[in-house]
Copies of this chain bind each other. A is one copy, B any other.
Amino acid sequence: MHTNGDHVCFCPIKGVIDVISKKWALLIVNAIGNEGPLRFNKIMDALHSISPKTLSDTLKDLVAEGLLKRTSFAEIPPRVEYSLTKDGEDFRHAIIPLLEWAASRNNHCGRKCVPIYRSLSAHRIKRTERKF
């Protein structure tokens, strides 16, 4: 086992599992990928029903992983934006086939789109990113 400060890591695939296994991580990356830099409360809206604590926790993880960048502007009222890093962009493109696959299983196990989700960009993907 490889240790690095307070991190304990096995190998990269374990790292990626830690990232993607978070309930909201893929949705956040996808939402920012679709819409560009987003503010905290915009992400709250985009994800629909995530709590501020959980969003805060997940954003910190994603920033720590180097997938998101947090930019705060010295304004009143304060403004903070989250955007994808280069690594985050790469990651986002790496998960697109997985999202496509998920979409193609629409009818599996009764998992269908419900209208409230259909309107949320976090649950969709820009057609310009698709190969078909």
Contacts and interface: CB of A to CB of B under 8 A. Distances in A.
Contacts of A121: 7
- Give the most central of A2, A91, A110: most B CB within 10 Å: A2
Contacts of A118: 2, 4, 9, 11
A109 B9 contact: yes
A113 B9 contact: yes
Interface size of A as a range: 35 or more
A-side binding surface: helix, strand, loop or mixed? Answer: helix
A79 interface: no
Nearest to A99: B10
Nearest to A108: B66
Given A10-B99, A10-B123, A117-B9, A111 B15 contact: yes
